[in-house]
Chains A and B, each alone.
Chain A
Amino acid sequence: MKRVYLDHAATTPVDPEVAEAMARVLRETHGNPSSIYAEGRAARELVDRARADVAAALGAQPAEIVFTSGGTEADNLALRGVMQARRGLGDHLVTTAIEHHAVLDTARDLESHGRARATVVGVGSDGRVDPAAIAAAIGPKTTLVSVMHANNEIGTIQPIVEIGAICRDRGVKLHTDAVQTVGALEFDTTRIPVDLVSVNAHKFYGPKGVGALYVRRGTRLATIQTGGGQEKGRRTGTENVAGIVGLGVALRAAAERRATESARQARLRDRIIDGVLSRVPDALLTGHRTERLPNNASFCFPGTQGESLIVALDLAGFAASSGSACTSGDTDPSHVLLALGLERHVAQGSLRLTVGRATTDADVDALLDALPPIVARLREASAVSV
C-alpha cells in the first residue's frame, strides 16, 4: 500500500543532502572537537561551520548558538538556566497554557522544587496569546517569560514581536520555543526582540537528537549539567559532531527552499482545511484560520476519538496524529485543546494533519476521499451505547 505521510509536525524525513553530509562526517572525521591536535581541529572546524550556518539563519552571532540534544533540552536549558542565573533578580516565570510539555512540565518542576513561581496565561479560542495578558502577568519579581512561537498541535502563530517588545520594556527575558517555526518561517533575531530560542533539527528535515538554543548576547544562563565545559560551559558534554553538521546543513537548505516551499505547503494546507470542512459534517477547525503554520491543518470531529481516527487512517495508508506525537498513547484530551475552551468530548476527537516537502495534490485528494467515510464510520460505531 502506498503510504501518505501527513505528520511532519511530529518529525520530517531527513533531507538526502543532510544524510550525505552526516555520513561523510561519520566516515571521515573521528576527532573530538576538544582535542588540540589535527583530528580534533578538523572536528572543531565542522562544529564551528555549523554554528555559523545556524547563526546566519537566525540573524545571530555564532557565539549566541548553544547546541543541545534537541528541543526538549533547549527548553529545559532556557527555563532552568535563566531562572537559576537570574535568581538574584526574582523567581517569577510567566508562560502560557498551550506550551509544549517540555516548557510546562519544566515550569511545574521548578515550582515544585521551590525554584520558581509560575503564572500560566490562558489563550483565546483561536489559540492566540493576548500580549496585554502577558503584560498584566509580569510583576516586579518576574525574570523570564516563555511563549512558544507557533503551537505544535493547532499551528497558531503567536504575536511574538509584540510580546518581545513588552518584555524588553519591562526588563524581562523572553524565551520562545520555535521548534515548529524555525525552518518553516523566517526567524530573524535582529527583528524579533527575543532572548532565547529553542530549535530542533528533526522538524526541518535534519536528524533526531540534535537541536540548539539561541542565547542573545548578554543573557546570563546557568548550566544545567556539569562536566567537561563544552559549549562555553553552557552545555557540557562531547559534541554530537555529525548531528550538529546535519543541523547546520538542514537549516541552510530549509532557508533556501522556504520562499517556494512555504507557499506551496500553505496552498495544500488550505485545500485540506476547505476540503475537510466542506466534506465532513460538524468538523471544527482548531487554531487560528490565517495566523497558522503553513503546513498545519488540525480539526476536531465531535463523536469520534482521536486514537480511533489515527488507527483507522493508518490502516487506510495515512500517517497522521491526534495532536502531539509526544503524548501518543494518552487518551486524555490535549491540554492545548482544553485551553481553547473546547469541551472534553469535542477535544477527544482531534486530528492533526501536517504536510511537508513530499506532499502532493494527489496525496491531498486521497486524504479528502478517505477521511469523510472514516469519520462517519467511527461516529456510527461510537453512537452504539456501551
Chain B
Amino acid sequence: MSGGVDSSVAAALLLERGEDVVGVWMRLVPGGVDTDAPRCCGTDQAGEDARRAAATLGIPFYALDYADVFGKQVVDRFVDAYASGETPNPCVSCNHHVKFDALLRDVVKKFGGTRLATGHYARVGDAPDGTRRLLRARDAAKDQSYALYMLGQSELRRIEFPIGELASKAETRAIAARFGLATATKAESMDICFIGGDYRDLVRSRAPRAFVAGPVERADGSVVGQHAGLGGLTVGQRSGTGVATGERLYVLRLEPERSTAVVGTRDEITRTTYELRDVRFTHDAPRSTFETTAVLRYRGTPLAASVDVTPDGALLRLATPALVAPGQAVVWYDGDEVVGGGIVRAGSPG
C-alpha cells in the first residue's frame, strides 16, 4: 500500500471479496531523511497515509524497509543510465527488481502469503491453456501494463491487480469514498516519484563525470555547438544548436566515451530497427520471429512491427520509422495482451 487511493482501494476490493488481507507499505528512502520529492510513495508521510488506510479497512499493516534495494536497483540504475547516455525507466526498474521481485519474494517466502496485490492499472487473466495473461487495464487512459511487461508466469501466478478491472478512476474514487478512505481525494502520483526538482541535479551530484562539457556534432562529424554534460541530455529531445542554419535539430545519440552529443533532423533520428536487450516474455517460449504491435513509451500508440529473437536479445523492425531512446522499454502487445518486451540497447545501429 503506497498511501495513495489505488492501492487502498485494491485492498478494500480484496477485503470485500472475503480475502484474508495484510497491508504492506514499502519504505523506499531511508527513514528520517527529508526528501523534497512530494509524490514519493516511500516516504514517512506516505507510510502514515498507508497506515491510516489500513486502519480504516481494519487490516493488519506492516511498514517494511526496501530502501537498500530501491537505492541500488532504481536510483543507482537511474543515475548510471543517464551517466552512460541512456534514458532510464525507473518505473520499470522498480516493478522488475523491487515490487515484483524483493517484495513478492518476501510476501510469499517469508510471510506465507499466497498472492500479492498492488494498485496498478492492469489486469491478469487466466487463459484456457492454464497460463496467466497480462492485459491492459479496462480504463485505457490509466493503463500501466507497459511498465509491467517483464512479469513472467512465476510472478503472474501470484499477482492480482484489482484496480485494473475498474472502468475509470472515478469508479476508484467512488469506492474509496464508500470505504471512508481518506485517500479518496489525494492527488495523482506522476513523473519520477523519488525526485522533487530537476533530475539533472541528482545525476550531477551522484555522477559528476556525466557533466563534463563536450562537442555537439552532426552525423557527418561537423561540430555545431557545445553541451554542458551528456547527463543533462536525452535522445530525442530538441537540441539548442543549429539555430544559425534554421534547422530543427534533435539529439540523435550520446557517446559518453568521447563526451559527444550527436544531433540530427527529425528524419535522421527516427528509424525502423532497434536492438533490444533484457528481453522477456509473459508466457510460452520465445519464438524466433513474430509479427506484433510495439509500444515505445508509457501509454504510447501501438505500432506495427516484427521481432527477431536473437541469442542475446531481439531485433525490432518497425513498419514506419519512429524514435525510442536507449534504456527505454519496448513492449509488445497482441490486442490488449502484453506478449513481452525488452530494453533498447545503447549504440543500437541507426
A105 vs chain B, min Cβ distance (A): 13
Cβ-neighbour of A311 out of B69, B101, B102, B111 (below 8 A):
B111
Cβ-neighbour of A307 out of B64, B69, B105, B112 (below 8 A):
B64
Beyond A312-B111, A386-B102, 19 extra complex contacts between A and B, CB < 8 Å:
A307-B64, A308-B110, A311-B62, A312-B110, A312-B112, A314-B60, A314-B62, A315-B112, A329-B27, A329-B31, A329-B63, A329-B65, A330-B31, A331-B65, A377-B109, A380-B109, A381-B105, A381-B106, A384-B109
**With A and B bound together, what is the CA distance between A381 and B60 in angstroms?**
22
Residues of B110-132 contacting chain A, CB below 8 A: 110-112
Nearest 10 interchain pairs by C-beta: A381-B109, A331-B65, A381-B110, A308-B110, A311-B62, A378-B110, A329-B63, A311-B111, A312-B111, A315-B111
Residues in chain A near residue B60, CB distance under 8 A: 314-315
Residue pair A386, B69 in contact (C-beta under 8 Å): yes
Q: List 30 A-B contacts (CB under 8 A).
A: A307-B64, A307-B65, A308-B106, A311-B64, A311-B110, A312-B110, A312-B112, A314-B60, A314-B62, A315-B22, A315-B60, A315-B111, A315-B112, A329-B31, A329-B63, A329-B65, A330-B31, A331-B65, A377-B109, A377-B110, A377-B112, A378-B110, A380-B109, A381-B105, A381-B106, A381-B109, A384-B105, A384-B109, A386-B69, A386-B101
Which A residues form the contact surface with B (CB < 8 A)? 307-308, 311-312, 314-315, 329-331, 377-378, 380-381, 384, 386
Of all chain B residues, the one with the shortest Cβ separation from A309 is B110
B125 vs chain A, min Cβ distance (A): 28
Which B residues form the contact surface with A (CB < 8 A)? 22, 27, 31, 60, 62-65, 69, 101-102, 105-106, 109-112
Residues in chain A near residue B105, CB distance under 8 A: 381, 384
Of all chain B residues, the one with the shortest Cβ separation from A380 is B109
Residues in chain B near residue A308, CB distance under 8 A: 106, 110-111
B106 vs chain A, min Cβ distance (A): 7
Residues in chain A near residue B64, CB distance under 8 A: 307, 311
**With A and B bound together, what is the CA distance between A308 and B102 in angstroms?**
13
Of all chain B residues, the one with the shortest Cβ separation from A382 is B110
B233 vs chain A, min Cβ distance (A): 32
A74 vs chain B, min Cβ distance (A): 25
**With A and B bound together, what is the CA distance between A359 and B109 in angstroms?**
30
Residues in chain A near residue B63, CB distance under 8 A: 329
Residues in chain B near residue A315, CB distance under 8 A: 22, 60, 111-112
B277 vs chain A, min Cβ distance (A): 20
**With A and B bound together, what is the CA distance between A337 and B117 in angstroms?**
36
B163 vs chain A, min Cβ distance (A): 25
Of all chain B residues, the one with the shortest Cβ separation from A304 is B110
Residues in chain A near residue B27, CB distance under 8 A: 329
Residues in chain B near residue A386, CB distance under 8 A: 69, 101-102
Residues in chain A near residue B110, CB distance under 8 A: 308, 311-312, 377-378, 381
**With A and B bound together, what is the CA distance between A177 and B217 in angstroms?**
70
**With A and B bound together, what is the CA distance between A133 and B142 in angstroms?**
65
Of all chain B residues, the one with the shortest Cβ separation from A384 is B105
**With A and B bound together, what is the CA distance between A380 and B108 in angstroms?**
12
**With A and B bound together, what is the CA distance between A380 and B31 in angstroms?**
27
Of all chain B residues, the one with the shortest Cβ separation from A331 is B65
Of all chain A residues, the one with the shortest Cβ separation from B97 is A386
**With A and B bound together, what is the CA distance between A347 and B110 in angstroms?**
19
B311 vs chain A, min Cβ distance (A): 24
A115 vs chain B, min Cβ distance (A): 24
Residues in chain B near residue A331, CB distance under 8 A: 65
**With A and B bound together, what is the CA distance between A378 and B111 in angstroms?**
8
**With A and B bound together, what is the CA distance between A386 and B31 in angstroms?**
22
Of all chain B residues, the one with the shortest Cβ separation from A327 is B31
A265 vs chain B, min Cβ distance (A): 28
**With A and B bound together, what is the CA distance between A312 and B101 in angstroms?**
19
Residues in chain B near residue A314, CB distance under 8 A: 60, 62
A24 vs chain B, min Cβ distance (A): 32
**With A and B bound together, what is the CA distance between A386 and B109 in angstroms?**
13
A317 vs chain B, min Cβ distance (A): 11
Residues in chain A near residue B31, CB distance under 8 A: 329-330
A79 vs chain B, min Cβ distance (A): 23
A328 vs chain B, min Cβ distance (A): 9
**With A and B bound together, what is the CA distance between A33 and B168 in angstroms?**
61
B16 vs chain A, min Cβ distance (A): 21
